[in-house]
């Protein structure tokens, strides 16, 4: 791995200030300012899919200390040219969806961040793994649990890491609530509510295309409440019930869910009541209730700032750019084997896909669906 020694020395010589990131104090979710210049290995990342979220990740990575963009993969030549100029990416590190298998011979790329429509994740991650590169995949990681399992197996076979873009697993206020829950501050957990939704716009976008998205709101915003229920309660659910509502069958065609309410049951007896929708705004909140106290995040999963409070007071941690922290922390996971408080690997993504499969089954049949532990 190359380092940034020369780059840092040049900055120091020029008297320029280094960008610094918030990191986590040991044993706490409280961000502290890390002013130590970094001179270790860099995770060299190719971004696959140069759309809106890919651009957000790329911008955030400009402040990363341990990860940087070294390549791009896109089906749109004009986007590749724009990114080359903006991020100083050489021609030899630019690929399209047909030829990116050639990254296996490119030492400038350690990992590929797959930020494409859901239906493409399985094939693209498997190809990345076969090329011997680590894979980072946006959520949901696949169309269903069967595909997710194939991705996990392919990365294991190739001896590469598979990480999923669960940026909220590194968010300070979220981590503080998890810490308090683990310490028993809320007592026995009784209830979780997760509301995830917004009114979706352009009816022609891929998120409303069954073939590309694999569904509707549940395959996009809904995964936040699925995943959030698990890390907030601290258990794996054992059953699911669900109900689907559709008010606009023209916009939300067959197989594209508009609104799904779902309930989860946990081994301890705790229950979760959640909603996923593409038809309502102002829905981004988590609420956790225990015998001794409560915690609330509202907004809970947006790009920030996240707002939080507990029965013990407000959570007043500084806002940090989620994607910057995510990519630096993922560099640590890939390069140094660091383990996050809440897992971010393919196995974690697979658990969510099994629950989503069960939610769709429950909504279709009207029956309670058991989940294997």
**Tens-level pLDDT at each residue, the chain (373 residues):** 444 444 333 333 333 333 333 334 444 444 444 567 888 999 999 999 999 999 999 999 999 999 999 999 999 999 999 999 999 999 999 999 999 999 999 999 999 999 999 999 999 999 999 999 999 999 999 999 999 999 999 999 999 999 999 999 999 999 999 999 999 999 999 999 999 999 999 999 999 999 999 999 999 999 999 999 999 999 999 999 999 999 999 999 999 999 999 999 999 999 999 999 999 999 999 999 999 999 999 999 999 899 999 999 999 999 999 999 999 999 999 999 999 999 999 999 999 999 999 999 999 999 999 998 6
**What per-residue confidence (pLDDT) applies to 35?**
62
Q: Do domains 5-167 and 177-317+346-370 have the same CATH topology?
A: no
**What per-residue confidence (pLDDT) applies to 34?**
59
Angle at which helices 52-60 and 77-87 cross, to 10°: 10
Name the residue ranges covered by the structural domains of the chain.
5-167, 177-317+346-370
| 67, containing H or E segment | strand 67-73
**Measured between alpha carbons, how far is 113 from 125 in angstroms, rounded to an integer?**
9
**What per-residue confidence (pLDDT) applies to 13?**
37
- The answer to whether residue 139 is catalytic is yes
3-class SS at 95? Answer: strand
Tokens 């890919």, located at residue: 54
Domain 5-167 of CATH type 3.30.465.10? no
**Of 66, 133, 139, 173, catalytic:** 139
Q: Classify domain 177-317+346-370 by CATH architecture.
A: 2-Layer Sandwich (3.30)
Sequence-distant (≥ 6) Cβ neighbours of residue 139 within 8 angstroms:
164, 165, 166, 223, 227, 349, 352
Q: In what order do the strands lie in the sheet with 308-310?
A: 313-315, 308-310, 294-297, 283-290, 189-197, 271-277, 259-265, 239-245, 369-370
**What per-residue confidence (pLDDT) applies to 36?**
78
Closest to 4 measured CA to CA, from 73, 67, 91, 48: 67
CA atoms within 13 A on the CB side of 334: 30
- The answer to whether residue 38 is catalytic is no
Q: What is the pTM of this model?
A: 0.91
**Of 224, 231, 278, 360, catalytic:** 224
Closest to 319 measured CA to CA, from 196, 175, 173, 169: 173
């Amino acid at each position: 791995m190359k380092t940034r020694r020369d780059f840092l020395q040049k900055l120091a010589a020029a008297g320029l200030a280094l960008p610094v990131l918030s990191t986590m104090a040991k044993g706490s979710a409280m961000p502290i300012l890390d002013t130590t210049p970094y001179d270790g290995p860099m995770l060299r990342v190719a971004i696959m899919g140069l759309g809106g979220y890919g651009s957000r990740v790329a911008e955030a990575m400009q402040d990363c200390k341990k990860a940087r963009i070294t390549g791009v993969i896109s089906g749109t030549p004009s986007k590749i040219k724009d990114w080359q100029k903006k991020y100083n990416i050489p021609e030899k590190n630019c690929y399209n969806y047909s030829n990116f298998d050639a990254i296996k011979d490119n030492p400038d790329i350690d990992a590929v961040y797959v930020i494409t429509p859901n239906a493409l994740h399985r094939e693209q991650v498997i190809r990345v793994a076969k090329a011997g590169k680590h894979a980072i995949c946006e959520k949901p990681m696949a169309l269903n649990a069967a595909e997710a399992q194939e991705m996990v197996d392919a990365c294991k076979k190739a001896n590469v890491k598979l990480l999923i873009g669960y940026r909220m697993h590194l968010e300070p206020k979220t981590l503080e609530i998890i810490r308090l829950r683990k310490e028993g501050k809320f007592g026995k957990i009784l209830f979780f509510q997760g509301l995830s939704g917004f009114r979706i716009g352009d009816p022609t976008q891929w998120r409303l295309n069954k073939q590309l998205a694999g569904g509707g709101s549940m395959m996009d915003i809904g995964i936040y409440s699925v995943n959030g229920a698990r890390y907030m309660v601290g258990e794996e659910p054992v059953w699911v019930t669900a109900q689907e509502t559709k008010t606009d069958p023209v916009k939300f065609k067959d197989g594209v869910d508009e609104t799904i309410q779902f309930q989860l049951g946990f081994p301890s007896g705790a229950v979760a009541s959640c909603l996923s929708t593409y038809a309502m705004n102002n829905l981004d909140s988590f609420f956790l209730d225990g015998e001794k106290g409560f915690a609330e995040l509202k907004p809970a999963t947006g790009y920030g700032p996240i707002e939080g409070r507990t029965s013990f007071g407000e959570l007043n941690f500084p806002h940090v750019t989620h994607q910057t922290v995510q990519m630096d922390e993922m560099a640590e996971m890939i390069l140094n084997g660091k383990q996050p408080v809440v897992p971010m690997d393919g196995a974690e993504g697979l658990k969510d896909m099994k629950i989503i499969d069960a939610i769709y089954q429950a909504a279709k049949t009207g029956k309670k669906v058991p989940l294997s532990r």
